[in-house]
Amino acid sequence: MNTAQSQSQDVTSPVAPELVATDRCDSCGSQAYVRVRLQSGELYFCAHHADEVRAGLQPTALEWHDETDRLRDEHGA
Ligand SMILES: [Zn+2]
């Protein structure tokens, strides 16, 4: 039995993806891999549209959460 041990390790567990399959790009509706937090709210973008808006939005973004690295894992090879 290692149940108790695994519960005690929650603090050091790796960061889970914050974006899920139901998060959709605000521009095209594809699965979102980038979340941009602005003072006016949050925007979601696929990898393609995140690249398009990055230059304009990133300077004013409160947070630029990018999970596009996951694309390589999911669609690689
Ligand atoms: Zn898109």
Angle value at C-alpha 13, between 12 and 15, nearest 5 degrees: 115
In a domain, 24, yes or no: yes
The pTM (predicted TM-score) of the whole model is 0.72
Confidence of residue 6 (pLDDT cuts 50, 70, 90): very low
Q: Is 20 exposed, middle or buried (0-12, 13-18, 19+ CB in 10 A)?
A: exposed
In a domain, 10, yes or no: no
How many helices (H) and strands (E) are present in the chain, helices listed first?
3, 3
Question: How many structural domains compose the chain?
Answer: 1
Beta pairing class for 41-45 and 34-38? antiparallel
Question: Which residue segment(s) compose the domain that 63 sits in?
Answer: 18-75
- Ligand 1 centre to CA of 57 (Å) is 15
In a domain, 31, yes or no: yes
The environment of the single-atom ion ligand 1, i.e. residues with CB closer than 5 A, is: 25, 27-28, 30, 46, 49
Model confidence pLDDT, tens digit, residues 10-53: 555 566 678 999 999 999 999 999 999 999 999 999 999 999 99
Q: Which amino acid is at 34?
A: V
What is the sign, positive or negative, of the torsion defined by CA atoms of 8, 13, 15, 20? negative
